[in-house]
Structure 1
Amino acid sequence: MTFKIGRKLVTAAVISLGLASVASAQTIRLAHVDPDEWTASKKGAAAHIFKNIVEGETGLKVELFPAGSLGNETELVGQAQENLTQVVLVSGAMSKICPAAGVLDIPYTFSSAPVAWTVLDGEFGKALAEHCLEKTGLRTLAYGETGFRNFTNGTREIRKPEDMKGLKFRVQPIPLYVEMVKGLGGEPTPIAWTELPNALSTGVVDGQENPVGVIYNNGLHKLQKYMTLDGHVYGADFILISDEFYQSLSPAEQQVVTKAAKVAGTMGRAIQQWGTAEGVNKVQQEGMQVYSPTAEEIAAFAAKAQPAVVDYLRKELGSDAEWIDRLQKAVDEASK
C-alpha cells in the first residue's frame, strides 16, 4: 500500500489519551474535527447516529472524539492508518493520501447535491473507494457531505467571472484552489483558516470561499457584504475505517458497521442541507446581499475555472488521470 502517512503524524493528544496501542476489537474510536452538537454539525450528527446503531446492534462500543480533540484531519487519517483511531470522518485530507479523490474538487462538476449523491453512492463512488483502499489501507464505508463552497467579498457583487478581476480571495493552501481562482481572474491568497477573520478585517484579502453553514456559523458574513451562490466545489465527507480493524470484525459486525456508516452519511447530508438553507436566510436577514447565478452564468464560471484545474490534475495524477474522465462520465449519466 502506497502513500502511507508515517507514525510521526500521530499526535501528542493521542499519546496523552493512552491511544498509542492498537485498540481491542471491542472498542471503536471515532474522531472528527467538527463540533459535537448534532443539530448543527454534520460530522457531529453522523458520529452520534453511527454510535447509536453500532452499540444498539452489536457488542461493540464506540467512543467519540469530536472537535479536533485528537488532531486535525491529516493527523486523523494517519492515526486510522496505524489503527490507533479506528473510524475517522474527513474531507479535504483524503486527497492527500489518495490523490485520485482530488477529482471531486474539480470546480462546477456537480450541478446539485442529488447529482453528487447519485455519483458517490453509485459505481463511481464504489470504484473510488476500492482504489483508495488499495492506496491507503483505509476502507470508505460511506460518503457524507461538507456542502457546496461559495464566494463572498466586501467590495462588489459577483455575477460573472469578470467581476472577480482584481479581488484577492483567501483560499486553502491547496494548489487546486489556487488554480481555480486564477482561472476565474481573481488573485488567490493562501491563508490558514485561523487567520482568515483578521485577514478580512484588515483588508489583506477582499473575500473568501466556504460553504454557507461555515460562513454563517463563524460570523464571516459580518465581515463581508456580498455572497454569490455559485457552488464552485462540492465537498464530500469520507467515513473511513482502518481495514485492519474492519477485517478483525465478524461478518455480522462488519454488516452493522457498514450500515451504520451509510445511515450516518445520509444524516450528515441532511444536517448540511438544513444548515445551508437556514444559513442563506439568516445571512440575508443580517444584511448580506446574496446572489444566485443563472445556469448560463454558472456555465461561464465553469468555462474559466475548469481548464486550469483539470490541466493541473492531469499532470499531478499521471496514470491516475483516468479518474477525471470516469467522474465526468458518471456525472453525465447522473444528470440525465
Structure 2
Amino acid sequence: MSYSFKTIAAAAVCTALVALPLASADAQTKIRFATSVPEANTAEVLGMKAMKDYIDFKSGGTLEVDLLFATMGVGERELTEMVQQGALDMALAADGAVSGFYPKLQVFGIPYLFKSAPVAWEFARSPMAKQMQQEMLEQTGLRTVAWGENGFRNLTNSKHEVKGPEDMQGLKMRVMESPVFMRFMESLGAAATPISFSELVMSLQQGVVDGQENASSNVYENGMADVQKFFSTTEHIYSMTIITINDQFYQGLTPAQQQVIMEAGQLYAAVANSFKVTSDRDYIERIRDEKGLQVHITTPEEKEAFRELAQPPVVEYVNEQLGKEFVDAVLAQVDESEKQVYGQ
C-alpha cells in the first residue's frame, strides 16, 4: 500500500498534536489553532495573533492558544478535517476548502457576486449567514467562529498579459480544491488544476501550472509574485476565510470561555477586513515595483466581459448542486445587503 505525502504529513501532525493537553475545566486549556498559511505579514496571521492575545488575556489565563502556521505542508481541507475529527481544535481555511464539508459555501464562488467588500461584510452579519453557519454546525460538527475577508481574487500567470477572458484560453491555472472554482476557470477556457495552498508556489515554480488566482496580499506575501510575470486586477471572486472550531471541544468549555472565543472571532474579522481593504493598493504597487510583475488594471468593461462569460455557467452549476431556492435566497440577501450599505 502506498501513501501520499499529504497523508503522511497529516498523520504526523495528528501524532504530534495528540500530546497537547485537551480541554479541562480545572486547568489551563490549550487551543490548537492551525492554518496552512506561513507566518508572514498577512491579514490571516495578524488576525490569528490578535485572537491569541485576546483569548489568552480575556480568559484570565484559563485558555492558551497555540498557533500553528504552515502545518507541515498539510492543506486547508485536511486541517479542517482534523478539526472535525478532534485532532485540532480550530483551523483557518478559505471558504473554497471548507465547502468540501459544507457544499453550500460554494455559492460564494459565483463571479462578481458582491459589488464591494462592505457588501460582503454586511452579508456576513445577515440572517442568511447565521442560517448557513447553524446548518453547517448541525451537519458537520464544525462551529463557525468567524467569517473574515480573504479578499477579491486576481489573476496571475507566467505566460502573457491577461486583459479579457479570451486571454485565458489554454492557460493551466491552479484553483482551490473546490468544484465551483474549477467550473469558473473552465468557463474561461483555461485548464483548472486543484492544488493545495501549501504546494502552490512549488507548482508554479516547477511549471506544473502557468498561473493562479488569489488576493493581492497573498500573492505578495506568500511567494507567488516571485515565480509569476503577469498580474491582472480582475477581482472576479470575493473569497472569505473561515475559522472553525470542533463543537465537542467548544461544548467542553465554560460559558465564559465560549464567549471569549466568539468575541475573538469578531476581532479576527475586524482585523482581516480592514487590513485586506486598506493594503490592497499598496500590495499591487509592490507586486509591480518590487517584484517586477507587469500589472494590468482591469477596466470595468473588461470585468463585465469576465462576468458575462463566467457567471451564467457557475450560477447554473450551483443551482444544480445546491438548489435554486437556496441560491435565489442568497442572491436576495446580497441585494438586501447592498441596500444596507448604500442606503437604498
Q: Please, which of 245, 250, 257 is the counterpart of residue 254 of structure 2? A: 250
Aligned to 2:50: 49
CA displacement, residues 40-73 of structure 1 (integer Å, 9 cap, x when unaligned): 1322222222122222222422232322337432
Compute the displacement of 1:263 (Å). 0.7
Shift of residue 210, structure 1, vs aligned partner: 1.8
Match in the other structure for 1:4: none
SS at match of 1:36: coil
Instruction: Describe how 1:258-273 pairs up with structure 2 within 5 A.
Output: 258-273=262-277
Aligned partner of residue 24 in structure 2, secondary structure: coil
Aligned to 1:143: 147
The match for 1:241 is: 245
Structure 1 residues 293 and 325, CA gap change in structure 2 (3 angstroms): same
SS in 2 for 1:43: helix
Question: If the length of structure 1 is used for normalisation, what is the TM-score?
Answer: 0.85
More moved, 323-332 vs 194-203: 194-203
Q: Secondary structure at the match of 2:234?
A: strand
**Are the counterparts in 2 of residues 147 and 272 from structure 1 also a CA contact under 8 Å?**
yes
* Alpha carbons of structure 1 residues 244 and 75: separation in structure 2 relative to 1, 3 Å: same
- How far 1:132 sits from its partner (Å)? 0.7
Return closer, same or farther for 1:109/1:34 CA change in 2, 3 Å cut-off.
Answer: same
1:251-330 equivalence runs, <5 A? 251-286=255-290, 287-317=292-322, 319=323, 321-330=324-333
Alpha-carbon distance in structure 1 between the residues aligned to 2:120 and 2:235:
12
| Residues 1:126 and 2:130 aligned together | yes
Cα distance, 1:46–1:289 mapped onto 2, change above 3 Å = same
d(CA) in 2 for partners of 1:250, 1:204: 48
Question: How far, CA to CA, are the matches of 1:207 and 1:150 in structure 2?
Answer: 11
**Secondary structure of 1:232 counterpart:** coil
Specify the code of the residue in structure 2 equivalent to 1:172: M
Alignment partner of 2:111: what SS?
coil
Distance in structure 1 (CA, Å) of the matches to 2:308 and 2:336:
20
Q: Which runs of 4+ in 1 moved over 6 A?
A: none
Partner of 2:35: 32
Shift of the 185–198 alpha-carbon distance from structure 1 to 2, 3 Å rule, reads same
Determine the C-alpha separation between the residues in 2 that align with 1:195 and 1:142: 25
State the match for 2:67 in structure 1: 65
1:117-144 CA distance string (max 9 Å, x none)? 1111222221111111111111112211
Match of 1:169 among 168, 173, 177: 173
**Residue identity matched to 1:82:** Q
Q: Deviation of residue 285 (structure 1)?
A: 0.9
CA contact (8 A) 2:145 2:244 kept: yes
Equivalent position SS for 1:303: helix
Deviation track 1:271-304 (CA, whole Å, cap 9, x = no partner) reads: 3335533220111213322222233322221111
Q: Structure 1 CA distance, aligned partners of 2:55 and 2:203?
A: 43
Residue equivalent to 1:232: 236
1:86 is the counterpart of 2:124: no
Shift of 1:146: 1.8
Stretches of structure 2 lacking an aligned partner (at least 5 in a row): 1-7, 340-344
Distance 1:316 1:296, change over 3 A: same
Amino acid in structure 2 at the alignment position of 1:64? D
Distance verdict in 2 for CA 1:197–1:35, change over 3 Å? closer
1:24 alignment partner AA: S
Aligned counterpart, 1:5: none
Q: Take 1:213 and 1:53, find their aligned partners in 2: how far apart are those partners? A: 24
Query: SS of the residue aligned with 1:97?
Result: coil
Looking at structure 2, the residues matched to 218 and 54 of structure 1 have their Cα atoms a distance apart, in angstroms, of 27
Root-mean-square deviation (Å): 2.7
Whether the 8 Å contact between 1:9 and 1:79 is mirrored in structure 2 is: no
- The CA deviation at 1:180 is 1.0
Q: Identify if the C-alpha distance between structure 1 residues 191 and 128 changes in structure 2 by more than 3 Å, giving closer, same or farther.
A: closer
For the 8 Å contact 1:170–1:208, the answer to whether it is kept is: yes
- The aligned amino acid for 2:45 is G
Retained in 2: the 8 A contact 1:34–1:66?
no
Note the C-alpha offset of 1:97: 0.7
Query: Where in structure 1 are there 5+ consecutive unaligned residues?
Result: 1-7
C-alpha distance in structure 1 between counterparts of 2:196 and 2:252, whole Å: 39
Identity %: 37
